[in-house]
Chain A
Amino acid sequence: MSILSIENLHANVGETEILRGINLKIEPGEVHAVMGPNGSGKSTLSYVLAGRDGYSVTGGSVEFKDKDLLELEADERANEGVFLAFQYPVEVPGVTGMTFLREAYNSRLRYEGKDEADAMEFLKLVRSKAKDLNMSDDMLKRPVNVGFSGGEKKRNEILQMAVLEPKLAILDETDSGLDIDALRLVADGVNALRTSERSMLIITHYQRLLDYIEPDHVHVLAHGQIQRSGGKELALELEANGYAEFDDKV
């Protein structure tokens, strides 16, 4: 059974059609990379999958673990196991990192009909995961992402992913704005979360991230469609030749 099965997906932002028939299947444990030039629809794909308002699906279907993903609210999708690591993680004034994580974690437990987590146990769990990502206690006490550097924000995304343990992680341009050290730290965090069950969809413009997180499959997205699919060598080819050959195709 596929984790994710996208068939002929069409979606609009406002009146403009951005996704024009996407087909993609992801099996458990697989890491897929979607690469493409700016404006190809990469971020739209991630938002449509996560269920953001303002993106209307005009055709096709998305199944997630045999459920109709498009029928679910954004919070239900998250509780089913879809996780979007944001390209621009949002600053949330006044809500501390710890409160945010606890609410998210307990939401999922409630969704599954379970009791909320013991506060002390949960604190211990978060602290140990934060330590792996080189994040201080102080960062968890501060409001979510407020005053964080670009690298800190991305690490915070990975921490949330580590705590929430999704079945499908969508990483939207996770490498953007990171220097090489921060990139390595984030990539190590992601790799530590690779299991034979957990699937990942890595959305990126540059091949650079894929040096650190090795994909099983690479797809090229342009003009709202997947133009080509291949193994990890396709990423290297794109790095050498750029996206020029896909720009002509409309």
Chain B
Amino acid sequence: MNSSVESIVPFNQFIDSAQGDHPHGNRGDWLSEIKEKGRIEFYKLGWPSPKFESWRYTNLNKLAKTQFFLPQDIELAELPYQDILPVDAPKIALVNGKFNRELSDLSTISEGILVNNFQEMSDEQRALFSLENPTTLPKEGLPVKALNDAILSDVLFIEIRPGWQSDVPLHIVSIGCGDHVGFSSKIFVSAGENCRLDIVESHAGEHGSTYFSSCVSNIDIKAGARLGHYKLQNDTNTSTHLALTQTSIEADAVYDNFVMSVGGILSRNEVRSFIAASGVDCCVNGAYLGTSNQHIDNTTFIEHAAEGSKSREVYKGVLADHAKGVFQGKIFVHPEAQKTDGYQMNRALLLSDKAEIDSKPELEIYADDVRCSHGATVGELEEEHLFYLKARGINAESARRLLVEAYIGEVIDEIQSQSIREALSKLASDLLKKKLFERSNER
């Protein structure tokens, strides 16, 4: 419409520059096509604005006005191990969105799991790719997807063979590095019938880097499969993280999702789960920890489209300083989804009177025989608890740390995989110490 105005937006200049970045290899043209389609779509839709209901509390104005650049080929010596989840697992390393073979460790990957990047994808996998765009995605979600396409430089395709069951997780490590670089990553997971696997994502950055990271994951869980999907968003404190996870779940499958958001100046994690059949057990949980001026948005959508499935959602957050949290959670129950059992809860702990949480739990139910409940709480540390601990000799700072750790620990306990639960609980305790407590001693 008014493309002259659009092109003045610095971020759009970046999107335009991405079009000229032709990837090498036999699938290069295919990727360029996706990028071009994404760019056109994004300009047509425009930036998500507060006019959209689901973008009321998260404003991308500042992002649109920031100039980003395409990542150059950077040699990263090693992964920032202290900032990613400490799990013993094969690793797929993405540096600025691109698969990096040197930093990956796929030597121990089991034979039932196939990992391809865009150059290695089969025609079937490409066909699946073109199907991406489930009807469940509402208008609000489209700009994020279009933006992700427009600056795409690689695609990761993970296929778990039917019946393949493994106790060893698969770890995707996405690292941003550079000064004002922008990149996207796109991950496809196809979990075959009756398979079982835990997939872990760690998002972090090289120390001192500032970047924009767009992540879109498409997950397809076939009947009887069990997929654990655990994400740590621990980007550098000047970076922006915009993520969209779409999962479609078939009969009697289990999806156990957890998102821990601690990094970035602005982050949004949108998790959309589509329950397509009965007997599904879908868990969408998360924790967030915000300090300084961080803005952390968790938006979830659970759609029950078939009878007799279960969903459970618990989010807990701790916000200090001027940090702002957003929680939007919606459970949508179709008329045919009788006997649905849905539960949703968001709890936030505010450690300063300048911290803020906008919480919007929603139920939209068109079936009459369902059990759905939701709730939200906001609170502070209770004087009664603090005094009880102090009366036993525990000093004020240790008492606060114990109570905050316990608060977050309760939601980490929701994670079904024991090894991930333990790894995340340890990391959370270190992060709490570092972000909330040890800094006061530095002053």
Seen from chain A, the residues whose Cβ lies within 8 Å of a Cβ on chain B are: 50-54, 73-75, 78-79, 83-84, 86, 89-90, 92-95, 99-100, 103-104, 107-108, 111, 143, 160, 164
| Inter-subunit contact B410/A79 (CB<8 Å) | no
User: Could you list 7 examples of A-B contacts with CB < 8 Å?
Assistant: A52-B387, A73-B390, A73-B395, A78-B391, A78-B393, A92-B403, A103-B402
Query: Which residues of B from 383 to 434 have beta carbons under 8 Å from A?
Result: 383-385, 387-396, 398-399, 402-403, 405-407, 409-410
What is the CA–CA distance of A53 and B389 in the complex, to the nearest angstrom? 13
| Inter-subunit contact A164/B387 (CB<8 Å) | no
| B407: contacting residue among A94, A108, A160, CB under 8 A | A94
| Inter-subunit contact A95/B402 (CB<8 Å) | yes
Kindly list chain B residues whose C-beta atoms are within 8 Å of the C-beta of A160. Answer: 392
The residue of chain A having its C-beta at the shortest distance from the C-beta of B409 within the complex is A94
What is the CA–CA distance of A99 and B391 in the complex, to the nearest angstrom? 15
| Inter-subunit contact A53/B387 (CB<8 Å) | yes
What is the CA–CA distance of A143 and B385 in the complex, to the nearest angstrom? 13
Kindly list chain A residues whose C-beta atoms are within 8 Å of the C-beta of B402. Answer: 95, 99-100, 103
A9 → chain B, closest Cβ, in Å? 19
| Seed contacts A74-B391, A83-B391, A94-B403; 16 additional CB < 8 Å A-B pairs | A73-B396, A75-B393, A75-B395, A90-B388, A92-B385, A92-B389, A92-B403, A94-B405, A94-B409, A95-B403, A103-B389, A103-B394, A107-B392, A107-B394, A107-B398, A108-B393
A143 with B391, Cβ < 8 A, contacts A75-B396, A92-B385 known: no
What is the CA–CA distance of A246 and B20 in the complex, to the nearest angstrom? 93
| Inter-subunit contact B391/A84 (CB<8 Å) | yes
| Inter-subunit contact B383/A53 (CB<8 Å) | yes
What is the CA–CA distance of A84 and B409 in the complex, to the nearest angstrom? 28
Kindly list chain A residues whose C-beta atoms are within 8 Å of the C-beta of B394. Answer: 75, 103-104, 107
What is the CA–CA distance of A160 and B398 in the complex, to the nearest angstrom? 18
| Inter-subunit contact A75/B390 (CB<8 Å) | yes
Tally of contact residues, B, Cβ under 8 A: 22
| Inter-subunit contact A164/B409 (CB<8 Å) | no
| A90: contacting residue among B384, B405, B409, CB under 8 A | B384
**CB-defined interface of B341-376 with A at 8 Å, one 1/0 digit per residue?**
000000000000000000000000000000000000
Kindly list chain B residues whose C-beta atoms are within 8 Å of the C-beta of A53. Answer: 383, 387
| Inter-subunit contact A164/B406 (CB<8 Å) | no
The residue of chain A having its C-beta at the shortest distance from the C-beta of B395 within the complex is A75
Kindly list chain A residues whose C-beta atoms are within 8 Å of the C-beta of B403. Answer: 92, 94-95
A136 → chain B, closest Cβ, in Å? 21
What is the CA–CA distance of A41 and B399 in the complex, to the nearest angstrom? 28
Specify which of B393, B395, B402, B405 lies most central, judged by the most chain A CB atoms within 10 Å of its CB.
Answer: B393
| Inter-subunit contact A103/B391 (CB<8 Å) | no
Kindly list chain A residues whose C-beta atoms are within 8 Å of the C-beta of B395. Answer: 73, 75, 107
A227 → chain B, closest Cβ, in Å? 28
| Inter-subunit contact A143/B390 (CB<8 Å) | no
Kindly list chain B residues whose C-beta atoms are within 8 Å of the C-beta of A52. Answer: 387, 391
Kindly list chain B residues whose C-beta atoms are within 8 Å of the C-beta of A99. Answer: 402
The 10 closest A-B pairs by CB, nearest first: A94-B406, A78-B393, A104-B392, A74-B390, A90-B388, A107-B393, A75-B390, A79-B393, A95-B406, A75-B395
